[in-house]
Structure 1
């Protein structure tokens, strides 16, 4: 079942004295967050007063947060947006919809495990799959053959050396 809200970043610090927070975006690019004018912290909606990109971070000022102390109180909070307000290009998926999917071997159909984590690398994301073994699978078409969140699975091509405990 898809969640009503999508987590899009975490407040990791404050910037300046006027309530601006520093956000690590959990999306392909920080610019994606410019599409939203309201963010949710828990169930509480907060309108964005300003949003700008600084390096790989987002500097965000939220309505009602107008000083450093109020901003500091938000550090560690997760920002979310309503799913219906978010969209992706055809063939793209939200990480929240992929985590937990069953991972199947594309050649045999056997279960390899579940997608537990996705972490970025300079060239492409890496899928961390845990079952009887842990696999680190590059998220490129050579290895990721099919992603089907609607039916709850991902088909992958496994090669020797992808298991984390292989030498």
Structure 2
């Protein structure tokens, strides 16, 4: 399991006083209000940033970090990811998982047939769709509904599915 979870991407500066516009990669943009710190991805290392202020504009979060008071000090971080430690992650309900914890899972049917590996999760309006890549390179799209996804074992990277008619 990953120690850090991505919550946003710095897309642009906002004004001249060191604020940044952040595209949220979390389901709840309002969670930035509760965060005290984030970690800025610096390649293989992370730089800890203390959040001094948060406001919102449309779907964006506008963040101000303590000690960064000038556009020139923050501009170089455009395009960088913002992360939180797993301890500061949102609480998950039963049967909810962080996508990063299930990507790479082996997907197996109730009959024991190995379908392939979960390589992506697409968010749609009604429900998520699991993208399973087969050994031959083909893909299977499985709706993330109880009738299809029977069991998710994030710890052991294994997903048990029921193939509904027409999915293959």
Establish whether TM, by shorter chain, passes 0.5: yes
Q: C-alpha separation between the residues in 1 aligned to 2:148 and 2:65?
A: 41
Give the match for residue 74 of structure 1.
77
Alignment match, 1:13: 12
- Take 1:112 and 1:118, find their aligned partners in 2: how far apart are those partners? 16
**Aligned partners of 1:54 and 1:11: how far apart in 2?**
14
Query: Residues 1-167 of structure 1: matches in 2 within 5 Å?
Result: 2-42=1-41, 43-86=46-89, 87-105=91-109, 107-131=110-134, 132=136, 133-162=138-167
Per-residue Cα deviation, 1:100-153 (whole angstroms, up to 9, x for no partner): 111112x31211111111222222222211113201222222222211111211
Gapped regions of structure 1 (runs ≥ 5): none
Corresponding residue pairs, total: 161
Instruction: Kindly report the root-mean-square deviation, in angstroms, between the aligned alpha carbons of the 2 structures.
Output: 1.9
Provide the C-alpha distance between the structure 2 equivalents of 1:162 and 1:122, rounded to a whole number of angstroms. Answer: 19
What's the TM-score once normalised by structure 1's chain length?
0.84
**Runs of 5+ in structure 2 lacking a partner?**
none
TM-score normalized by structure 2?
0.84
- Paired residues of 2:6 and 2:26 also in contact (CA < 8 A): no
